[in-house]
Amino acid sequence: MFHIPFHTTRPATTAHLAQTMTMLSLTAEELKQQIESELASNPALELIHERRCPTCHRLLPKQGVCPICSQPAPFNANEPVVFVSPRDDFYPSGVTASSDDLPTDNFSVATDDLPTYVLRQIASELDVSNRKIAAFLLTHLDEDGLLTIPLIEIARYYHVPLSEVEKVQRMIQKADPLGVGSCSPREALLAQLEILADIQAIPPFAKEIVDSGMDLLSRHQLPELARRMKISLRNVQLAHQFISENLNPFPGRANWGDVRQPTGSRLEVFHRPDVIVSYLEGNAEKPFIVEIILPLNGTLRVNPAFKQALHEAPAENKENWRSDLERASLFVKCLQQRNHTMQRLIHRLVVLQREFIIKGEEFLKPVTRVQFSKELEVHESTISRAVANKTVQLPNKRIIPLASFFDRSLNVRTALCNLISQEKKPLSDSELMEMLEKQGYKVARRTVAKYRAMEGILPAHLRQVNS
């Protein structure tokens, strides 16, 4: 069984381990870039333009996966076929292509943070002089997407009129998620109302209620709010319903792309997968076929001509050439070891989480990286590196983070969302805690509140009653 010997201290083994761990932490696109860099800098390493299976090293046809490694053993629906695949359709230009040949939406995981995500949307509309103001504003957002610094301080810092800073802020507020970059929840709601008014009908008095009645609205004191505003209770109820259904006082908590809290589908923001899971012959009753993407359009090897030339190298070059040769040999071995480690990890994950892959988040089995490291007899950091920043394409074509397989809260959060989506009246966190416990999920009330906030769901007194 494969086991990385962490106890050894020999220099060669230490270098091997260090480079293997580095490669293990890379996504398919990052690995592609490292291979390109190594090929460009090391004459002892070469790429043969032939298609060989990274696992069994057989020559492959011009297209498709290995006909040997991709075949299942004697039928067992729970035993997946896991192999490393040189998927040329994901990397059509080959590893020697320049970056100009690649599609503009590169293949790495789209993990933009909120400031970067917003800045991408408004960059083309910003004057050059205002870009630094926008960047400053966006780097001073809290986890709710609200500003943590007064606008006047930014104006003083950059020696510009306050109106110039406010102009940039309004551009940010109109980006997705609506209201981001506001100074308070009230301001975020007002910004959302202003934008939504251009595309749909807004109930009368909604703006006035948000502007001067948030204290009563947040406590669900609608009759008192109607008396204060001197309007009918019906108008207050209509405004409250619209606000609950369409607005979010904390834009940073919502799924980007939805003004309100995210729906049960929880759309992800990822591009291309590092691992592809599909069914054999498209049949869910049959074994999984699991491809680990290796971004090679050919075979990577130590250049035999360079190795032969080393014997005849001039004395002054021999040491450098020998170093290149050793580095090339180490690189190839480390790449092979990375592939082997990924295969073992993914194989075990797919076996353990078969129901999750087929049926969804509620069927995720709680498992930790520590448990996995003990089972696979590797260090916990090995598991962490193998999982970091990588994604998996499920049979339904959805791409999720590989780390989701270790998210012990995912099934609870899914159950929580289902309960709230089916509620006849807004349920308190304590009521939700009791209902979750009946389903077998023992969580504290404050944990329910935490998970609700993670899903961008408002407290009970601000949620809309389902009809």
> Tell me: the pLDDT tens digits for 75-96?
566 788 888 887 655 544 433 3
pLDDT level of residue 111 (50, 70, 90 thresholds): very low
The sign of the dihedral angle between the CA atoms of 36, 42, 48, 49 is positive
Distance (Å, whole) CA 21 – CA 12:
14
Tokens of 174: 């109109």
**To which residue do tokens 């994950």 refer?**
349
Output 446 or 68, whichever has higher pLDDT: 446
Given a cut of 50, whether residue 153 has pLDDT beyond it is: yes
Across residues 255-270, what is the average pLDDT?
42
- The encoded tokens of residue 161 equal 């009129």
Q: State residue 270's pLDDT score.
A: 53
**Residues 256-265: what's their mean pLDDT?**
39
The whole-number pLDDT of residue 86 equals: 75
Name the more confident of 112 and 467. 112
Please state, in angstroms and rounded to a whole number, the distance separating the CA atoms of residues 24 and 440: 36
Domains of the chain: 11-100+271-405 (no CATH), 114-253 (no CATH), 410-462 (1.10.10)
More confident: 407 or 266: 407
Measuring CA to CA, which residue among 208, 212, 226, 220 is closest to residue 244?
A: 220
Q: Which residues are CB-contacts of 351 (< 8 A; sequence separation ≥ 6)?
A: 78, 79, 80
Residue 189 C-beta-side C-alpha neighbours within 13 Å: 26
The rounded percent of the chain whose pLDDT value lies above 90 is: 9
Does residue 247 have a pLDDT over 80?
yes
Specify burial of residue 126 (Cβ count, 10 A radius: 0-12, 13-18, 19+): middle
The region of weakest confidence among 46-60, 109-123, 442-456 is: 109-123
Residue with tokens 């990577």: 300
- State the average pLDDT for the chain: 79
> Average pLDDT of 257-281?
60
Q: What is the pLDDT of residue 346?
A: 93
Q: Does residue 439 sit in helix, strand or coil?
A: coil
Give the pLDDT confidence score for residue 85 in this predicted structure. Answer: 81
Give the strand pairing for 275-279 and 391-393. parallel
- pLDDT, one tens digit per residue, over 322-367 is 888 889 899 999 999 999 999 999 999 999 899 889 988 878 888 8
> What are the tokens at 219?
């406590």
Query: Is the pLDDT assigned to residue 226 strictly greater than 90?
Result: no
Task: Centre a 10 Å sphere on the Cβ of residue 198 and count the other Cβ atoms it contains.
Answer: 7
Residue 240: per-residue pLDDT? 85
Residue 162 has pLDDT above 90, yes or no: yes
Output the pLDDT for position 349: 92
| Banded model confidence at residue 165, pLDDT cuts 50, 70, 90 | very high
- 0.75 surpassed by pTM: no
pLDDT, mean of residues 20-31: 86
Alpha carbons 66 and 55: distance in angstroms, whole number: 9
Determine the pLDDT at residue 466: 47
Which one is predicted more confidently, 275 or 219? Answer: 275
Q: Assign 170 to helix, strand or coil.
A: helix
> Could you give the count of Cα atoms lying within 13 Å of 111 in the half-sphere of its Cβ?
11
Segment 393-415, tens digit of pLDDT: 999 888 888 888 887 777 788 88
Tell me which DSSP letter residue 424 carries.
S
